[in-house]
């Protein structure tokens, strides 16, 4: 069953339902993110920090691409699938951001301990388990061609806020532990401001978009 126009481009896309600004924001975001991720990974192949940064840019790009598909896809089946898959791109973005923060804010770029890795793995396993259930997307609205977020989405947004404060706490703790005059102190400060600002805008725009049902907020 088609959503929107009865004559979609290439039988799969309906560009008439999406704002023109969408393509000038989402597509450059995908290209720039992937370029930066690959560039850093190539320059520092053996670094754990570069690998984690690449994963962050990868999942961010996948999330943006998923939202782009939700705007332009013509078939309701594809749209429903896109809604169901959104958490699998969004949650890892925050998990790898926490992981990256722990690694980047130490001079030695030390890896995290096994117990914390197990926590992250358990969280991801839980997300995969919830994807096909009613907790994720219980209904699909044929009138506006959108999935109806389930209870898990509320927990996801709360979890993202917790992740932001978690990262903020790590950065503040590491910043205070670095002696005055050490150049690394300023590096941690700038890093903390950057990553907390990025994730706050990401979480804030998606949350406000869901609450107000004005999805264009996410790319303004």
pLDDT tens string 66-113: 988 888 877 888 889 999 999 999 999 999 999 999 999 999 999 999
Q: Which residue has the higher pLDDT, 2 or 177?
A: 177
Question: Which helix (H) or strand (E) segment is 147 a member of?
Answer: strand 146-148
The pLDDT value given to residue 10: 47
- The stretch 138-148 carries a mean pLDDT of 87
Q: Which residue has the higher pLDDT, 39 or 144?
A: 39
Strand 146-148 with 139-141, pairing: antiparallel
CA-CA distance, 51 to 44, in Å (whole number)?
A: 9
The pLDDT value given to residue 4: 59
Residue listed under structure tokens 């069953």: 1
Long-range pairs for 195-199: beta carbons < 8 A, 24 or more residues apart: 195/97, 195/100, 195/101, 195/167, 195/171, 196/164, 196/167, 196/168, 196/171, 199/94, 199/97, 199/160, 199/163, 199/164, 199/167
- The stretch 162-171 carries a mean pLDDT of 97
Angstrom distances, CA of residue 126 to CA of 14, 119, 135, 147, 153: 34, 11, 12, 20, 13
User: In 3D, which of 213, 209, 169 has the Cα closest to residue 188?
Assistant: 169
Q: Which residue has the higher pLDDT, 211 or 87?
A: 87
User: In 3D, which of 63, 50, 129 has the Cα closest to residue 91?
Assistant: 63
Identify the weakest region by mean pLDDT among 33-37, 140-144, 167-171, 189-193: 140-144
Q: Would you state the structure tokens that stand for residue 82, as one six-digit string?
A: 């896109």
The pLDDT value given to residue 206: 78
pLDDT digits (tens, 9 = 90+) for 7-26: 555 455 665 666 666 777 88
CA-CA distance, 194 to 200, in Å (whole number)?
A: 10
Q: What percent of the chain has pLDDT over 70?
A: 85
Residues 6+ away with beta carbon under 8 Å from 145: 3, 4, 17, 76, 79
pLDDT higher than 70, residue 197? yes
Q: What percent of the chain has pLDDT over 90?
A: 66
- The stretch 171-189 carries a mean pLDDT of 95
**Contact at 8 Å (CB) between 22 and 220?**
no
């Amino acid at each position: 069953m088609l959503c929107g126009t009865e004559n979609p481009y290439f039988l799969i896309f309906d560009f008439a339902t999406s704002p023109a600004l969408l393509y000038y924001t989402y597509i450059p975001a995908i290209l720039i993110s992937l370029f930066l991720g690959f560039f850093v990974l190539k320059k520092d192949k053996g670094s754990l920090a570069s690998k984690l940064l690449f994963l962050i840019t990868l999942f961010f790009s996948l999330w943006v691409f998923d939202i782009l598909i939700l705007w332009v896809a013509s078939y309701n089946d594809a749209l429903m699938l896109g809604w169901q898959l959104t958490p699998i791109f969004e949650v890892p973005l925050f998990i790898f951001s926490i992981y990256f923060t722990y690694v980047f804010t130490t001079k030695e770029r030390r890896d995290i301990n096994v117990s914390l890795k197990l926590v992250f793995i358990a969280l991801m396993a839980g997300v995969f388990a919830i994807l096909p259930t009613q907790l994720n997307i219980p209904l699909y609205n044929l009138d506006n061609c959108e999935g109806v977020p389930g209870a898990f989405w509320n927990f996801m947004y709360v979890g993202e806020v917790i992740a932001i404060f978690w990262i903020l706490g790590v950065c503040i703790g590491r910043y205070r532990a670095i002696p005055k005059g050490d150049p690394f102190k300023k590096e941690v400060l700038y890093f903390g401001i950057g990553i907390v600002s990025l994730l706050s805008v990401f979480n804030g725009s998606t949350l406000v978009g869901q609450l107000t049902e004005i999805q264009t907020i996410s790319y303004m």
